[in-house]
Structure 1
Amino acid sequence: MPEAKLYPDVVTFAFWIRRSSVKKLAERFQAEENCIHLGRGVAFHIAPSNVAVNYAYSFAAGFMTGNANVVRIPSKDFPQISIINKAVNMALEQYPACRPYICFVRYGREQRINDALSSIADTRIVWGGDRTIAELRKSPLGPRASEITFADRYSLAVIDSDAYLAADNQPRIVDDFYNDTYLTDQNACTSPRLVVWCGSQTARAKERFWSLLLERVQKKYEFQSIQGVNKLTNAFLAAAAQEGTHMISCGDNRLVRISLDHLFEGLMDFRGDSGYFYEYDCQDIRDLKAVCDDTHCQTVSYIGDPQMFLPLLKTGVRGIDRIVPVGKTMDFDLIWDGYNLYERLTRTIHIS
Structure 2
Amino acid sequence: MTGGDEPAPARVQAKVGAAVLAGIGPRGAEGTDGARPHSDGGAGARSRSEETVDVRFPFEGTVGLWELLDDMAAAPRLVVGDERVRAFLVDVGRRLRAPEVARRHPELASLGFFLRRSELERAAGPLPGAAGSLPGAAGSLPGAAGSLPGAAGVGGAGEFVRVPRGLVFHVAPANVDTVFVYSWALSALMGNRNVVRLSARAGGTAQAILTIMRDALDDADPVVARTQRIVSYGHPRPGARRIPVEPPHKQLEHASPGHHASSDHHQGEHSGKPPRTSPVTHPEPVAPADAGSGGAAGPTAVLSAACDLRVIWGGDRTVNEIRRHPLAPHARDLTFPDRSSFAVIRARAWLEATPATRETVADGFAIDAYWFDQAACSSPGTVFWVGSPIECAMARDGFAACLAEAVARRGWTVDTAMAVEKRVAAYGLAADGVADAVEFHGNVLAQVILTSPGAAPRRWLGTGTFAHARIGSLDELADVVRRKDQTLTHFGFDRDELAGLARALGGRGVDRIVPIGNALGFHRVWDGVDLPAELSRVITVQ
TM over 0.5: yes
Of 183, 206, 225 in structure 1, the residue corresponding to residue 416 of structure 2 is 225
One-letter amino acid of the counterpart of residue 429, structure 2: A
Structure 2 Cα separation of the partners of residues 143 and 61 of structure 1? 24
**Cα drift, residue 26 of structure 1:** 5.1
Aligned residue for 2:206? Answer: 81
Residues 131 and 157 (structure 1), Cα distance of their counterparts in 2 relative to 1, 3 Å cut: same
Structure 2 Cα separation of the partners of residues 281 and 337 of structure 1? 26
Aligned residue for 1:16? Answer: none
**Cα drift, residue 234 of structure 1:** 1.9
Q: Matches of residues 56-75 of structure 1 in structure 2 within 5 Å?
A: 56-75=181-200
Structure 1 Cα separation of the partners of residues 537 and 132 of structure 2? 19
Is residue 197–residue 282 contact of structure 1 (8 Å, CA) maintained in 2?
yes
Q: Per-residue CA shift, 1:153-212, capped at 9, x if unaligned?
A: 000001122323324422122111111001111000000000111246333332322112
SS at match of 2:394: helix
Structure 1 Cα separation of the partners of residues 492 and 321 of structure 2? 41
How much is the aligned-residue C-alpha RMSD, in angstroms?
A: 2.2
Structure 2 Cα separation of the partners of residues 27 and 81 of structure 1? 36
Aligned residue for 1:116? Answer: 302
SS at match of 1:253: coil
TM-score (norm 1): 0.86
Q: Per-residue CA shift, 1:226-272, capped at 9, x if unaligned?
A: 2122222222332233345320243x12100000131226x424441
SS at match of 2:453: coil
Aligned residue for 2:357? Answer: 169
Of 427, 434, 451 in structure 2, the residue corresponding to residue 236 of structure 1 is 427
One-letter amino acid of the counterpart of residue 180, structure 2: Y
SS at match of 2:168: strand
Aligned residue for 1:202? Answer: 392
Q: Which has the higher helix share?
A: 1
SS at match of 1:333: coil
Of 455, 463, 468 in structure 2, the residue corresponding to residue 274 of structure 1 is 463
Aligned residue for 1:149? Answer: 335
Aligned residue for 1:324? Answer: 514
Segments of 5+ residues of structure 1 without an aligned counterpart are 1-24
Is residue 52–residue 74 contact of structure 1 (8 Å, CA) maintained in 2?
no
TM-score (norm 2): 0.57
Structure 1 Cα separation of the partners of residues 313 and 358 of structure 2? 34
Structure 1 Cα separation of the partners of residues 353 and 321 of structure 2? 49
**Percent of pairs identical after alignment?**
32
Structure 2 Cα separation of the partners of residues 346 and 276 of structure 1? 40
Structure 1 Cα separation of the partners of residues 196 and 501 of structure 2? 41
Is residue 453–residue 471 contact of structure 2 (8 Å, CA) maintained in 1?
no
Structure 1 Cα separation of the partners of residues 170 and 524 of structure 2? 15
Residues 351 and 186 (structure 1), Cα distance of their counterparts in 2 relative to 1, 3 Å cut: same
Aligned residue for 1:106? Answer: 232
Aligned residue for 1:17? Answer: none
Is residue 238–residue 270 contact of structure 1 (8 Å, CA) maintained in 2?
no
Larger Rg: 2
Q: Per-residue CA shift, 1:131-172, capped at 9, x if unaligned?
A: 100110121111111110001000000112232332442212
Q: Per-residue CA shift, 1:294-332, capped at 9, x if unaligned?
A: 211000000122433324641525110000001111111
Highest relative contact order (Cα 8 Å, sep 6+), 1 or 2?
1
